[in-house]
Structure 1
Amino acid sequence: MTSSFVPSVPYRGRFAPSPTGLLHAGSLTTAVGSYLEAYSRGGEWLLRMEDLDPLREMAGAASAILHTLEALGFEWDGEVVYQSRRHELYRAALDQLIRDGLAYACACTRKEIAMHAQRGVDGFVYPGTCRDGCPSDRPGRAWRLRVAPGETVFVDRLQGEYRQELERDIGDFVLLRADGFWAYQLAVVVDDAEQGVTDIVRGADLLVSTPRQIAVQRALGVATPSYCHLPLMVNAAGEKLSKQTLAPAISPEAAAEELRRALVRLGHVPPAECHDLAELWAWARTNWSLARVPVGPVAV
């Protein structure tokens, strides 16, 4: 696959929320850091809605997220992209991988994998059961990427060097799920390449999945962006803020205070005289520095 978009700026970032819930402190903090890093680098900042799993989506969440971002004074470049409208791009990428012998059909169920697989860094390590073909009496249910042996190593701009051996730690991973939905690892790579994204700033919970995305990038022959994983936002129990841990939604009515809190979580404390949104954004754009952002988890 080759990108159809040639970047006109040296830096193009993006924020890509999933509408499985409303914007909360964790996702807002990521949006603030992603936006300010793009601004400080003289680049563009895109907005993409990762709405590929309708079974997990919350009704009205996508429009509510956009409303909240607008209320907090965010400005993005171009139109909002929706993954649910890009199935043809993902299909073309998978077809390319199949033609190149880099993707194969898998007939295994989750229960079967759990019975025979070892635990890895992000769930069960697929044991390669269907690598040489599905059983003759069972059709393929999903499509997997055939991972290459050896370590994947990259240097994260905040977290430093990160290493993972996909074959040992993850195994051949899913590109198209058995239920017919596209897997995140394929869709995110296709979207970033097609949109010309050069730099990805996101939460540290996705650090573990980055080597899988690099593997897909290499298989498709597209460029690997620069990565920066911001600190994880956690609650008092040390759990990642999410819909599952009942993270409260951001209040658009308290926009200035919500922005101030996000900046503080990123190691940037605005002066007391910055009261409204315009003053806070002006200060943040002038004073943003990735060197001030904490590396480890931040309690909210």
Structure 2
Amino acid sequence: MPLPVFRFAPSPNGFLHLGHAYSALLNFDSARAGGGRFLLRIEDIDATRCRPEFEAAIYQDLGWLGIAWETPVRRQSEHLDLYREAVEKLAAQGLIYPAFESRAGIARLVAQRETEGPWPRDPDGAPLYPGSATLAPEQHARVLASGAPFAWRLDMAAASARAGGLSWTEQGEGPDRQTGTVTAEPQAWGDVILARKETPTSYHLSVVIDDALQGITHVVRGQDLFWSTSVHRLLQKLLNLPEPVYRHHRLVLDDAGQKLSKSTRATGLRELRAAGATPAEIRRLVGLP
């Protein structure tokens, strides 16, 4: 039986906080308990927000917590060609299409739709994409050649029909206490963005490719990503990628009961360390032995 492989995959767009510490320690502890491997991945595809100083701080904070990881560390920005190949594969199957509306244009379309009644939202509360794959292929080619900005969107109806029914094995717990075998509902997300003209990937696409290439067997992450797993299972099916086991854990919340933000200085690991906190105290704060 192969050894279990766990990973912690932060984005270097801010300093780590207690929520990150909980997730990283949970993955590290699980790997050690199962005699498996622990990997660190830097998800730095957002070139406008990710900065070297935040990446350096990730290594410092994790090392201070007593977490050790295998090297070299995978950095997504070094593998954009792999994500681009996946986009081309989906395009060849007719499962994605270029959408040319700006964010403001999409907001106007949603507002127009809502004059006729409530417009559906995705599990995160954002309105579903109100457009559709209406341009003919020759029109796509013409607009793409013009240099106009665009996003590659998944044709959810076609992709879902191609994939058929999907589920995943949940060893944690979803927002409504879902556990065991969970039925995937990717349609709830609408025609999600998989890449943009300036960035040949998205979180949804790169995470499933990286998990497969790194041999991740157990994805342990926060409950806020529970329903994103529906999209990930769909992409795994379409790209013929292996399916890991999932464990979604509770979130570490602030005093107001809200999910922690990287701007929440009171729970930042750097601030807590500067105030004299020890790694053992961090474990206690997040509820780990």
Amino acid at match of 1:220: L
The residue aligned with 2:122 is: 120
Q: Is the 8 A contact 1:102 1:219 kept in 2?
A: no
Amino acid at match of 2:278: E
The residue aligned with 2:150 is: 141
Amino acid at match of 2:12: P
**Which residue of 81, 91, 99 corresponds with 1:88?**
81
- The number of aligned residues is 260
Q: Is the 8 A contact 2:66 2:279 kept in 1?
A: no
The residue aligned with 2:226 is: 207
How has the CA–CA distance of structure 1 residues 134 and 109 changed in structure 2, closer, same or farther, with 3 Å as cutoff? farther
Q: Is the 8 A contact 2:83 2:200 kept in 1?
A: no
Amino acid at match of 2:150: R
What is the percentage of aligned positions where both structures have the same residue? 34
Q: Where do 1:260-271 residues align within 5 Å?
A: 260-263=281-284, 265-266=286-287, 268-269=288-289
Amino acid at match of 1:153: S
The residue aligned with 1:101 is: 94
In structure 1, C-alpha distance between the alignment counterparts of 2:234 and 2:169, rounded to whole Å: 15
How has the CA–CA distance of structure 1 residues 230 and 263 changed in structure 2, closer, same or farther, with 3 Å as cutoff? farther
Runs of 4+ in structure 1 off by over 6 angstroms are none
CA offsets, 1:245-280, max 9 Å, x none?
Answer: 4553214567873444335534x44xxxxxxxxxxx
Indicate yes or no: 2:192 matched with 1:176: no
Q: TM-score, normalised to structure 2's length?
A: 0.80
Q: Which moved more, 1:140-149 or 1:207-216?
A: 140-149
The residue aligned with 2:215 is: 196
In structure 2, C-alpha distance between the alignment counterparts of 1:135 and 1:180, rounded to whole Å: 23
Q: Is the 8 A contact 1:128 1:171 kept in 2?
A: no
The residue aligned with 2:116 is: none
**Which residue of 129, 132, 146 corresponds with 1:129?**
132
The residue aligned with 2:114 is: none
- Offset at residue 222 of structure 1 (A): 0.5
In structure 2, C-alpha distance between the alignment counterparts of 1:45 and 1:212, rounded to whole Å: 25
How has the CA–CA distance of structure 1 residues 246 and 261 changed in structure 2, closer, same or farther, with 3 Å as cutoff? closer
Indicate yes or no: 2:167 matched with 1:153: yes
- Offset at residue 114 of structure 1 (A): 3.0
In structure 2, C-alpha distance between the alignment counterparts of 1:185 and 1:202, rounded to whole Å: 14
In structure 1, C-alpha distance between the alignment counterparts of 2:55 and 2:233, rounded to whole Å: 28
The residue aligned with 1:166 is: 186
The residue aligned with 1:274 is: none
The residue aligned with 2:113 is: none
How has the CA–CA distance of structure 1 residues 151 and 113 changed in structure 2, closer, same or farther, with 3 Å as cutoff? farther
CA RMSD after TM alignment: 2.6
Amino acid at match of 1:98: A
- Offset at residue 49 of structure 1 (A): 0.6
Q: Is the 8 A contact 1:19 1:58 kept in 2?
A: yes
Q: Is the 8 A contact 1:107 1:134 kept in 2?
A: no
In structure 2, C-alpha distance between the alignment counterparts of 1:132 and 1:225, rounded to whole Å: 36
In structure 1, C-alpha distance between the alignment counterparts of 2:260 and 2:285, rounded to whole Å: 17
Q: TM-score, normalised to structure 1's length?
A: 0.78
Gaps of 5+ in 2: 111-118, 174-178
How has the CA–CA distance of structure 1 residues 217 and 211 changed in structure 2, closer, same or farther, with 3 Å as cutoff? same
Q: Is the 8 A contact 2:194 2:205 kept in 1?
A: yes
The residue aligned with 1:232 is: 251
How has the CA–CA distance of structure 1 residues 201 and 142 changed in structure 2, closer, same or farther, with 3 Å as cutoff? same
- Specify the SS of the correspondent of 1:239: coil
